[in-house]
Structure 1
Amino acid sequence: MMDWLPQSIQHNLDLQIVLPLLLERGLNFLGAILILVLGYWFSGRARRWVGFLVRRIPNSDLMLESFFGSIVAYSVMTFTVLAVLAKFGVQTTSLIALLGAAGLAVGLALQGTLSNVAAGVMLLIFRPFRAGDYVEVGGIGGTVRQLTLFTTELASPDNIQIVVPNSNVWGQAVKNYSRHPTRRLDLVFGISYADDIGKAMDAMREVALRDSRLLADPAPFVAVNALGQSSVDMLLRVWMNNADYWPVKFDLTRAVKERFDAEGITIPFPTQTVYNFGDAEWSKADRA
């Protein structure tokens, strides 16, 4: 177009056009990187700020902190991405409208994922458990670590991470072993049919009354639970504070066994009685 100009002038004109364009593009690129870095940094700070504010709310727990922190962090990163696109000249208004239309179709395709978000909100509203509670959901037991937008994280007793979708937690019965301050413990001990039942009951009751961790109300309860194939099954039912459940279970089982040994009360092994009839008896039965 400017072939009639000298070569040196054309070169200078090209530099005058290209250099500002490269400079503008480079500044936009550096600005976008800076926005991404600042957005990522601010999302982490916002998550911590939300956690700080939630912790100041009376009766709050870690579930609220992690859930609302996740929402704020995702929101900040969404605005960050939109700001980066605007830096490169993308019309974010039309993009948001396009994303809104596409979001409807994606939402229909990801109903399961969105149901996890809705279930997470319902879990926060009704609060069937708190962080630190030991729960059982669908046969899976563990201590609640945190509740996020999509999942509930548990830790098994041997410290294995268990991640359960929120919809599975909300859609099933939840057993919360930590909700109430007290728990009941049922222990069953088998004694021989030849042993004195009253003596065994007195021994179990005395062992329970000597344990200061057991509650006086309801008082320890002792009864004959069942007549088994090889033993008379005795029931010892006691109540204690929730935190003492496992120590009491282990200690009381040992104490009753030692008391039975001291009293001469036997805990029988499973046995079977076999009757052997001679040929004459069998032949008589056959004739009958």
Structure 2
Amino acid sequence: MDIITLISKWILDNMNIIIRAIASIIIIATSYAISRKISSTMLRGVVKVSPTTLTNLSRLIRILIIFIGFLIALSILGIELSGILVAAGFTGIVVGLAAQQTLSQLFSGISLILEGRAKIGDAVRIGDIGGIVEHIGLMSTQIRAWNGEIYTIPNNIVSSSNIVNLSKSIARRAEIVIGISYNSDIDKAIEIIRRVLDEEELVLSEPKPMVIVEGFGESSINLRVMFWIPSQYFLIIRSEVIKKIKKQLEEAGIEIPYPQRVVWLKNI
């Protein structure tokens, strides 16, 4: 019996296995191709999410599709999946207990990506840390603080913290407390402050700026000034308003006093 006859006989005897193997390879290759197609389509899509979010989501979907294709291929080959799933479940429990914090960070990262509470480039405050979002990954988020330092925060901490997204606010309210001397004319001071706010183009007219007499300080009458500024100009305009108020109050002879105390000495 020549080798060709032997090969033909082996193929005929194992035709069922060969067909299953070919089908399994086709299933795995197809799932891989579909995952790549969906991934590339998502990355090219015009949607209102950050590039980082798209990348992470496409990566997760790609892994999921390939995993499903792998399970289908095993089923076609006649491999019993129940035992594998039981073993995988037991292994998952062991791994979950050993890597509880890591899994917490992973699921928190997925939650942050899907919710879209912040994206790269947003100005945020997470707990006591404020700055610009540099990166959002599955495990951690990077924040560039206002002083330039980079903070890498685990996603489980980010998810459980209060996230204030300053970039999502169209406008922000600025509050300034100005102390004027007890001898100064309060009405005149309020008039000057309101004029400064009216003259500043980027101070919003609605909501209307407010100047209220807050109370008696140790060395001054305190005026609280509240006004709204477009978020992207907040720090610059707030600084300019403070400088202009100080200059015009001084030109009008209204004193902004230094902190002072009156001490009485009792003769014994």
Q: TM-score, normalised by structure 1?
A: 0.68
**Residue 234 (str. 1) matches residue 227 (str. 2):** no
Structure 1 unaligned runs (5+)? 1-45, 80-92, 283-288
Q: State the superposition RMSD in angstroms.
A: 3.0
In structure 2, what is the Cα distance between the partners aligned to 1:52 and 1:140? 36
Q: Cα deviations across residues 167-221 of structure 1 (Å, max 9, x unaligned)?
A: 1011121111111211111111110011000010001000010000111111211
Q: Which of 228, 237, 253 is the aligned partner of 1:264?
A: 253
The one of 83, 100, 109 aligned to 1:111:
100
State the alpha-carbon separation in 2 of the partners of residues 153 and 212 from structure 1: 35
Matched, 1:172 2:161: yes
Q: How many residues align?
A: 221
Q: Deviations over 1:228-284 (max 9, x none)?
A: 111111111111211110111110010001001110111111111111223xxx3xx
% identical aligned pairs? 27
Counterpart of 2:196 (choices 200, 207, 228) is 207
Q: Give distance in 2, aligned partners of 1:52 and 1:274.
A: 76
Tell me the secondary structure at the aligned position of residue 168 of structure 2: coil
Could you tell which deviates more after superposition, 132-141 or 263-272? 132-141
User: Contact 1:66 / 1:147 at 8 angstroms: preserved in 2?
Assistant: no
Look up the match of 1:60: 49
Relative to structure 1, is the Cα distance of residues 243 and 52 closer, same or farther in structure 2, using a 3 angstrom cutoff? farther
**Equivalent residue of 2:260, what SS?**
coil
Give the AA of the match of 2:223: M
Partner Cα distance (2:133, 2:51) in 1:
10
What is the one-letter code of the residue matched to 1:265?
A: I
Question: Equivalents in 2 of 1:143, 1:51: separation in Å?
Answer: 28
- What is the CA deviation profile of residues 124-150 of structure 1, one whole-angstrom value per residue up to 9, with x for unaligned ones? 232222221111112111211221111
Q: What is the rounded CA distance, in whole Å, between the counterparts of 1:55 and 1:225 in structure 2?
A: 55
Structure with max Cα Rg: 1
Q: 2:211 is matched with which residue?
A: 222
- Is the CA contact 1:70–1:148 (under 8 Å) kept in the aligned structure 2? no
1:65-104 map, 5 Å: 65-68=54-57, 71=60, 75=63, 101-104=90-93
- CA distances 1:152-174 after superposition (whole Å, capped 9, x unpaired): 11111232211111110111211
Runs of 4+ in 1 over 6 A off after TM superposition: 93-100
Higher deviation after alignment, 110-119 or 94-103:
94-103
Q: Report the alpha carbon displacement of residue 51 of structure 1 after superposing the two structures with TM.
A: 7.3
The answer to whether structure 1 residue 141 and structure 2 residue 130 are counterparts is: yes
Q: Residue 105 of structure 2 contacts residue 156 of structure 2 at CA under 8 Å; is this kept in 1?
A: yes
Q: Distance in 1 between matches of 2:107 and 2:227?
A: 41
